[in-house]
């Protein structure tokens, strides 16, 4: 199977915060899972650089826009590295290859008769980079940003979105899993059913952006330019290859709920007009709130992912982000919660289990484990986990997948308490029982490391190394009894050493 996953491309008018890291972390976990399944994957992320708000920030700082984006993009390239997201290509919409494909794309919709010239007279919110109607506003202000939109009047090029209403409804009816979760599908579908208005695909009077091929005095509306990144990147990510042949339309777009309309309505319509297939699936996730509040500069609760990774490490931040909030819903996370999960779940439940298991194998069996009498309960548990994970990831239910794996963590901890290997070790007549328990703990942890590897990609190989097992995280390794007789297991160092909770991380 081919699996092409995208994150939204991030605006470079400011620096990354933990909310952006959230999307990137989720995307990386999905791709790692699909790799485990043996899928051929491609993971795209990058930056949205042609926005008016980017141009304005550069102007405010007295910088040439290109110099500004070249500088700030470095911070955005650090973001995936910081959270261990292994992307295949980082697109910048200032890339020449992107400009070329956007212009070709626009020319196709123009040639198909879906473009006409008209006067746009109305409102525009530069923060959203979106044309607004009076109905979108609350007390005359943008509902999202609380700022007054600008009134503009300019002659623009319009896209006949209205002509695609029926086709989009057909698409939604034929493909009930086109957009997930279901309530987001319903939201998108009812927006379409409510009637679609044509929208402007160009902006006048801005010297920054991608010129309209047939009217170079205008630049492409930034959202149209940005959406096309999902297609353009494939055309030039690998020199001499057009990956569109391989990965389009196997595209899976991950996005936050604030950009649903662009992705679930405008994007498929633009693709249909240009003669491309629509993506395979879109998943719309909710907001990560911090202490019940939206993350925003004006609220002063913007958390730099770097600060958290510095203290807790990237695996803990990934774990916390995906475990605290049911993926797809809005949800609350807190820095206290991060500390607490680090100590209780990662430190005690998982870390201690690895320390205890390896220490007991070292102490009671001189570092050796070997298969004995099979444990049917553990076997059923691991077989069940392997099957459940596939369903969970197919439904993009990352939080559910993590919980399924954690059930095995809890089972293994209960198994240690129930069998009390330290008692068995005192009684020579129970040597076979002790062998079996230590093997089950070792083998269970090995399988668990594989199951957890999309979430904690640094810790998983450490667990496998502590058990002297190869770093092989293919999904079918989540199965009982695959640990051969192994020697040389030593008491492992703590995986999640104690840290002091920073007092003012925010």
Give the binding site for ligand MSP (CB under 6 A).
8-11, 19-20, 22-23, 48, 226-227, 229, 255-256, 258-259, 287-288, 295
- Which one, 303 or 450, has the nearer CB to ligand MSP? 303
| Shortest distance (Å) from residue 338 CB to ligand MSP | 15
Catalytic residue among 145, 167, 246, 257: 145
Identify whether the C-beta of residue 312 lies closer than 8 Å to the C-beta of residue 342. yes
Q: Has 294 been annotated as catalytic?
A: yes
Half-sphere exposure of 427 (CA within 13 A, CB side): 10
Catalytic residue among 33, 98, 99, 142: 142
> Angle 247-284-124 (CA atoms, 0-180°, nearest 5)?
100
Q: Has 263 been annotated as catalytic?
A: no
| Shortest distance (Å) from residue 226 CB to ligand MSP | 4
Dist. CA 393–CA 396, nearest whole Å: 5
Nearest to 293 by CA among 248, 254, 332, 348: 332
Residues counted in the chain: 506
- Which one, 51 or 361, has the nearer CB to ligand MSP? 51
- Which one, 259 or 309, has the nearer CB to ligand MSP? 259
| Shortest distance (Å) from residue 255 CB to ligand MSP | 5
Q: Has 20 been annotated as catalytic?
A: yes
| Shortest distance (Å) from residue 24 CB to ligand MSP | 9
Q: Has 125 been annotated as catalytic?
A: yes
The residue sitting closest to ligand MSP, measured at its beta carbon, is 256
Identify whether the C-beta of residue 304 lies closer than 8 Å to the C-beta of residue 260. no
Catalytic residue among 77, 167, 257, 294: 294
Identify whether the C-beta of residue 215 lies closer than 8 Å to the C-beta of residue 157. yes
Catalytic residue among 34, 98, 99, 125: 125
Q: Has 339 been annotated as catalytic?
A: no
- Which one, 247 or 439, has the nearer CB to ligand MSP? 247
> Angle 206-208-211 (CA atoms, 0-180°, nearest 5)?
85
Q: Has 250 been annotated as catalytic?
A: no
| Shortest distance (Å) from residue 25 CB to ligand MSP | 10
DSSP letters of 290-340?
Answer: ETTB---TTTT----HHHHHHHH-HHHHHHHHHHHS-BTB-EEE-HHHHHH
Q: Has 264 been annotated as catalytic?
A: no
Catalytic residue among 98, 128, 264, 339: 128
Q: Has 128 been annotated as catalytic?
A: yes
Dist. CA 327–CA 400, nearest whole Å: 8
Nearest to 464 by CA among 445, 451, 485: 445
- Which one, 45 or 483, has the nearer CB to ligand MSP? 45
Instruction: State the catalytic residues.
Output: 17, 20, 125, 128, 142, 145, 294, 297
């Amino acid at each position: 199977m081919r699996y092409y996953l995208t994150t939204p491309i991030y605006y470079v008018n400011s620096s990354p915060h933990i909310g952006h890291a959230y999307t990137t972390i989720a995307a990386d976990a999905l791709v790692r899972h699909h790799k485990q399944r043996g899928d051929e994957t491609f993971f795209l992320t990058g930056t949205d650089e042609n926005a008016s708000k980017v141009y304005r920030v550069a102007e405010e700082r007295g910088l040439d826009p290109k110099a500004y984006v070249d500088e700030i993009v470095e911070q955005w390239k650090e973001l995936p590295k910081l959270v261990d997201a292994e992307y295949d290509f980082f697109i910048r919409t200032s890339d020449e290859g992107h400009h070329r494909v956007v212009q070709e794309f626009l020319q196709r919709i123009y040639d198909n008769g879906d473009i006409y010239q008209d006067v746009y007279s109305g409102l525009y919110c530069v923060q959203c980079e979106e044309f607004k109607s009076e109905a979108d506003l609350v007390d005359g202000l943008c509902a999202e940003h609380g700022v007054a939109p600008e009134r503009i009047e300019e002659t623009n090029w319009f896209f006949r979105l209205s002509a695609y209403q029926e086709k989009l409804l057909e698409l939604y009816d034929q493909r009930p899993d086109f957009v997930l979760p279901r309530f987001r599908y319903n939201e998108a579908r009812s927006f379409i059913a409510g009637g679609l208005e044509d929208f402007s695909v160009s902006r006048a009077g801005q010297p920054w952006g991608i010129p309209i091929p047939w009217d170079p005095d205008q630049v492409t509306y930034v959202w149209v330019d940005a959406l096309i990144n999902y297609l353009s990147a494939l055309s030039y990510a690998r020199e001499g290859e057009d990956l569109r042949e391989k990965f389009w339309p196997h595209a899976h777009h991950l996005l936050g709920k604030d950009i649903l309309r662009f992705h679930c309505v405008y994007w498929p319509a633009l693709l249909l007009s240009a003669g491309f297939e629509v993506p395979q699936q879109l998943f719309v996730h909710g907001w990560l709130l911090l202490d019940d509040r939206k993350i925003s500069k004006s609220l002063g609760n913007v958390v730099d992912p770097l600060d958290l990774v510095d203290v807790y490490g990237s695996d803990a931040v990934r774990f916390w982000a995906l475990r605290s909030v049911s993926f797809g819903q809005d949800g609350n996370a807190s820095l206290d919660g991060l500390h607490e999960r680090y100590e209780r779940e990662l430190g005690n439940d998982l870390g201690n289990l690895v320390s205890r298991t390896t220490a007991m194998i070292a102490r009671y069996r001189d570092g050796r484990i070997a298969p004995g009498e099979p444990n049917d309960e553990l076997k059923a548990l691991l077989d069940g986990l392997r099957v459940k994970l596939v369903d969970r990831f197919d439904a993009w239910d990352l939080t559910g997948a993590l919980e399924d794996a954690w059930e095995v963590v809890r089972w293994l901890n209960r198994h240690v308490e129930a069998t009390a290997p330290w008692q068995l070790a005192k009684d020579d007549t129970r040597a076979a029982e002790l062998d079996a328990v230590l093997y089950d703990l070792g083998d269970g942890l090995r399988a668990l490391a594989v199951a957890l590897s999309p979430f904690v990609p640094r810790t998983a190989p450490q667990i496998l190394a502590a058990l002297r097992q190869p770093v092989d995280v293919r999904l079918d390794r989540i199965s009982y009894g695959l640990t051969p007789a192994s020697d040389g297991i030593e008491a492992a160092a703590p995986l999640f050493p104690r840290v002091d909770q920073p007092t003012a991380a925010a």
